[in-house]
């Protein structure tokens, strides 16, 4: 009997302790006498970045003693699953990194993340005002928050705040360049092609005795080069495919344009772009498309090729790994004087825009305003300087003398069309046939034949899914519209429209017009 009583007493004590702890944890994450805990979940596990976040958290805690910052760094391969579990289980950190290259993220962001419009249209209090300031938080970013991660085209709303500029860069072995007597960059595509001969002439071979090629490749490194090559010769399409005259070619423009017969894979610019890609693949190490990112980097460090493409953030570890001097520059793309491709070139391809990355969003929670404040702090003057200092990465916010100025990054025509063509509308057909571009008995014409035959059905299905998602988005907005109207102090019969609500309705109406437009299009373009 005594044993039993002891057992019951233990159960009661443990239950009481559990509830007290749970209650304390809860109050610690909301308000009241305890500290507020802000957690940041991210997958950027580079030591330099973690160190930055640790220091930034400490700095924020010093000026806001009631706040505690904690980072949760989760390895990228398991991040998406972890993120979903946390969100569905209502345990999500207040701030989370997200990226659209992770499948299904767009839907998750739409449903669970905070819309940041009202903050980005105001100045960032943590920014030291420069000449002509204060400017809106949005305008302090080098890309004006105009990236797929930060701005949802579907909801026409801002959801993310980026910390760095992504963007792709061309890295090369400066030591080898000097040895080979090659003129310093930037090179045009033709000049880059000639590098193969120059390297042969000096008998440059790698450790295994294989001739050194102008470029090492991997699926990742080649993607960045192909993207820039594609963008360099398809610029006229930015005007001809622009369905609604806003100088922004979206997936819808491309998909509808294809079904309308405004372009296909035999269109001159498209064919030229894939020819250029095939030609450039001969400058890379064999089997590049089968190699992962790390294999490519290893080949570069082993001097099997003189250059490599990659993200701008790769520079810091390339420099750590390579036993030679590494430099970065513009990708060698055709210019207007190119005898074959020059006719399609209107100007430079942008190296500066559309490329912010490492995007953080705020989960809807009682702490959302605090979380936004912390993001403002992170992207303020002091922390952006600290991030650059800790990581060497190009930060997302403009400073007094920007890193872009030092790197002489070009502004130019957008670089997004390759991504749109390969991943919006008919990605399955593209992935099925892309190897035809490189095969000895294949080529761009064979690829184009296949794509033109296989794409219409897939594109139409994709358009249907776009209409369905848009309709879903509009449905979600109705309750928000009613609530925003109700929250306005004067919402009587003759009241004027609140400016915020007017902005929201403006977006809602445009989206609905777009939905109707897609549906009209689908009605007149039946399934082939």
Partner 1 sequence: MPAMGSKRELRGRSSMRCLYLVVIVGFWGMKGVAGEADEPGNRKAWKLLAGHSASKAWPLFNHAPLSSERQLGMAAALLGKYPQTQQNVDRAEVVLQTLLRGSDRTELHAPALYLLARIEHIFREGHESQAEVYYRVLLKKHPESQWADYAAVKLALIVLDRLPGKSDTNEVRSMIAGLAEPRRSEARSNWHRLIAEYLLEHGDMVAALDHLILVRKLAEGIGKNRADLLVQLGNVATRLNEGKIAISAYEEFLIEFARDNRNFMVQREVRRIRREEEK
Out of 31, 45, 201, 286, which residue is the one contacting partner 1 (CB under 8 A)?
31
388-407 residues near partner 1, rule: CB under 8 A? none
Beta strands in 249-329 (DSSP E): 305-311, 326-329
Subset of 48-107 contacting partner 1 (CB under 8 A): none
Subset of 242-271 contacting partner 1 (CB under 8 A): 242-248
Whole-angstrom Cα distance, residue 453 to residue 402? 47
Reference 183, options 419, 374, 191; nearest CA is: 191
| Neighbour count for residue 88 (Cβ, 10 Å) | 11
Q: Binders of partner 1 among 314-373, rule CB under 8 A?
A: 347, 350, 353-354, 364, 366, 368
Map 123-164 to HEC letters: ECCCCCCCCCCCCEHHHHECCCCCCCCCEECCCCEECEEEEE
Q: Binding to partner 1 by residue 143, rule CB under 8 A?
A: yes
413 is a contact residue toward partner 1 (CB under 8 A): yes
Contact between 495 and partner 1 (CB under 8 A)?
Answer: yes
Per-residue contact string for residues 199-238; x = within reach of partner 1 by CB under 8 A? ---------------------------------------x
The string of DSSP codes covering 221-263 is HHHHHHHHHHHHH-TTHHHHT-TTSSS---HHHHHHHHHTTS-
Which residue in 88, 286, 411, 453 binds partner 1 (CB under 8 A)?
411
Q: Contact region for partner 1 (CB under 8 A) — 93-101, 133-141, 212-220, 295-303?
A: 133-141
* CA gap 40, 359 in Å, rounded: 12
Whole-angstrom CA distances from 473 to 99, 111, 117, 152, 486 are 20, 9, 17, 11, 21
For position 130 contacting partner 1 by CB under 8 A, the verdict is no
Contact between 310 and 393 (Cβ < 8 Å): no
Q: How far is the CB of 262 from partner 1 (least distance, A)?
A: 13
Check binding of 465 to partner 1 (CB under 8 A).
no
Among 6, 11, 78, 128, binds partner 1 (CB under 8 A): 11
Per-residue string for binding with partner 1, 154-173, x by CB under 8 A? --x-x---------------
Q: At residue 408, what are phi and psi to the nearest 5 degrees?
A: 55, 45
In this complex, which beta carbon is closest to partner 1, that of residue 317 or of residue 485?
485
Work out which of 54, 61, 139, 452 binds partner 1, going by CB under 8 A.
Answer: 139
CA dihedral 172, 328, 357, 50 (to 10 degrees): 80
Judge contact between 169 and 256, C-beta under 8 A: no
- Considering just the CA atoms, what is the radius of gyration of the chain in Å? 26
H or E stretch at 69: strand 67-73
Decide: is 479 part of the binding site for partner 1 (CB under 8 A). yes
Q: Which is nearer to partner 1, 325 or 478 (CB)?
A: 478
User: Cβ closer to partner 1: 7 or 292?
Assistant: 7
Q: Which of 115, 199, 237, 387 binds partner 1 (CB under 8 A)?
A: 115
* Cβ count near 46 (within 10 Å): 15
Residue whose pair of structure tokens reads 């160190």 in the numeric block: 51
Q: How many residues bind to partner 1 according to rule CB under 8 A?
A: 87
Stretch that binds partner 1, among 167-175, 324-332, 435-443, 474-482 (CB under 8 A): 474-482
117 contributes a contact to partner 1 by CB under 8 A: yes
CA distances to 60, 160, 181, 255, 524 from 458, in Å: 50, 30, 50, 10, 16
Question: Any contact of residue 129 with partner 1 (CB under 8 A)?
Answer: no
Choose between 151 and 288: whose C-beta lies nearer to partner 1.
151
């Amino acid at each position: 009997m005594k044993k039993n009583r002891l057992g019951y007493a233990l159960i009661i004590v443990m239950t009481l302790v559990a509830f007290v702890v749970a209650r304390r944890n809860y109050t610690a994450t909301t308000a009241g006498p305890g500290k507020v805990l802000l957690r940041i979940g991210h997958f950027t596990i580079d030591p330099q970045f973690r160190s930055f976040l640790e220091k930034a958290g400490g700095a924020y805690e010093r000026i806001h003693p009631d706040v505690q910052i904690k980072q949760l760094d989760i390895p990228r391969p398991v991040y998406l699953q972890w993120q979903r579990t946390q969100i569905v289980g209502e345990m999500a950190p207040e701030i989370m990194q997200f990226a659209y290259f992770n499948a299904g993220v767009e839907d998750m962001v739409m449903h669970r993340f905070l819309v940041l419009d009202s903050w980005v249209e105001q100045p960032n209090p943590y920014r030291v005002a420069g000449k002509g300031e204060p400017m809106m938080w949005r305008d302090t970013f080098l890309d004006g928050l105009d990236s797929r991660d930060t701005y949802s085209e579907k909801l026409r709303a801002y959801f993310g705040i980026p910390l760095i500029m992504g963007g792709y860069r061309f890295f090369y072995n400066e030591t080898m360049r000097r040895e080979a007597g090659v003129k310093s960059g930037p090179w045009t595509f033709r000049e880059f092609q000639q590098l193969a001969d120059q390297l042969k002439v000096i008998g440059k071979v790698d450790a295994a005795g294989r001739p050194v090629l102008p470029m090492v490749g991997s699926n990742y490194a080649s993607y960045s080069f192909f993207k820039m090559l594609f963008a360099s010769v398809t610029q006229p399409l930015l005007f001809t495919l622009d369905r609604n005259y806003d100088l922004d070619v979206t997936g819808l423009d491309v998909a509808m344009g294809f079904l309308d017969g405004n372009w296909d894979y035999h269109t001159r610019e498209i064919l030229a772009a894939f020819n250029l890609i095939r030609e450039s693949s001969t400058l890379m190490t064999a089997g590049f498309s089968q190699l992962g990112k790390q294999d490519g980097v290893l080949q570069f460090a082993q001097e099997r090729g003189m250059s490599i493409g990659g993200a701008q953030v790769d520079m810091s570890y390339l420099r750590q790994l390579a036993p030679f001097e590494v430099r970065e520059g513009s990708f060698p793309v055709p210019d207007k004087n190119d005898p074959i491709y020059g006719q399609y070139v209107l100007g430079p391809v942008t190296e500066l825009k559309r490329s912010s990355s490492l995007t953080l969003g705020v989960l809807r929670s009682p702490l959302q305003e605090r979380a936004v404040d912390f993001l403002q702090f992170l992207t303020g003057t002091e922390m952006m300087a600290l991030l650059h200092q800790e990581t060497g990465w190009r930060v997302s916010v403009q400073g007094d003398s920007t890193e872009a100025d030092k790197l002489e990054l070009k502004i130019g025509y957008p670089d997004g069309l390759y991504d749109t063509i390969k991943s919006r509308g008919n990605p399955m057909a593209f992935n099925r046939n892309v190897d035809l571009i490189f095969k000895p008995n294949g080529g761009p014409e064979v690829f184009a034949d296949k794509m033109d035959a296989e794409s219409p059905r897939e594109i139409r299905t994709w358009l249907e899914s776009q209409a369905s998602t848009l309709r879903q988005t509009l449905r979600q907005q109705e309750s928000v519209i009613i609530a925003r109207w109700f929250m306005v102090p004067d919402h009587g019969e003759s009241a004027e429209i609140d400016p915020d609500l007017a902005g929201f309705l403006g977006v809602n109406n445009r989206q609905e017009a777009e939905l109707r437009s897609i549906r009209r299009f689908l009605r007149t373009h039946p399934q082939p």
